[in-house]
């Protein structure tokens, strides 16, 4: 019997396929309709995709609502997608705060590798903001406030989320 892929190899296969189809789809739409139209269609997709992702991970990890559950699930997502990051949680007078410092973004890496790094900030401003905001809302009244960005020339992205602890 032929060797089968290990779970790790299968995960790598699906991760690579997922990122490749995202980029290929975007570039084909861009060829046909132009960059702005491709970005607007991509934005529409990323208004829905985070809901699917968040609901799957939330159910798989048996998490509920709130900032702590969100933190657990988002950490899993970022790990699965190959981000490198640190998490800082604290509370203010009224709210919990979750700050994630991303030191390596696989999506930005793909943009650089494909020679499209100059588009990374424009795409990120729309897509990353939408993706993170939609993810957060799946866990209740959690607000997303992007701070720094790798695609803007910083050494990291700082993703700040605020909500009930």
**What are the sequence ranges of the domains in the chain?**
46-163
User: pLDDT digits over 58-111, tens only?
Assistant: 999 999 999 999 999 999 999 999 999 999 999 988 889 999 999 999 999 999
Query: Could you tell me which residues are beta bridge partners of residue 84?
Result: 104
Among 16, 158, 6, residue whose Cα is nearest residue 82 = 16
Tell me what the mean pLDDT of segment 4-33 comes to: 92
Tell me what the mean pLDDT of segment 119-134 comes to: 93
| Cβ(139)–Cβ(80) below 8 Å | no
pTM of the model: 0.89
For the chain, give percent helix, strand, coil, nearest 5.
60, 15, 25
> How many beta carbons lie within 10 A of that of residue 86, not counting itself?
10
Residue 165 scores a pLDDT above 80: no
- Domain 46-163 CATH assignment equals 3.30.1380.20: yes
Cα 70 from Cα 58, distance rounded (Å):
8
CA-CA-CA-CA dihedral for 103, 107, 81, 22, to nearest 10:
170
């Amino acid at each position: 019997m032929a060797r089968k892929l290990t779970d790790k190899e299968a995960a790598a296969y699906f991760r690579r396929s997922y990122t490749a189809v995202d980029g290929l789809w975007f570039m084909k739409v861009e060829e046909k309709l132009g960059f702005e139209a491709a970005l607007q269609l991509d934005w529409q997709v990323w208004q829905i995709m985070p809901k699917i992702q968040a609901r799957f991970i939330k159910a798989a990890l048996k998490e509920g609502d709130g900032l702590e559950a969100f933190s657990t699930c988002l950490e899993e997502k970022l790990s699965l997608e190959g981000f490198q990051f640190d998490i800082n949680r604290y509370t203010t007078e009224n709210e919990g705060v979750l700050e994630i410092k991303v030191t390596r973004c696989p999506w930005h890496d793909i943009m650089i590798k494909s020679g499209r790094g100059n588009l990374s900030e424009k795409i990120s401003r729309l897509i990353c903001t939408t993706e993170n905001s939609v993810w957060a809302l799946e866990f209740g009244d959690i607000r997303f406030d992007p701070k720094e960005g790798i695609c803007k020339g910083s050494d990291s992205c700082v993703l700040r989320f605020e909500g009930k602890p």
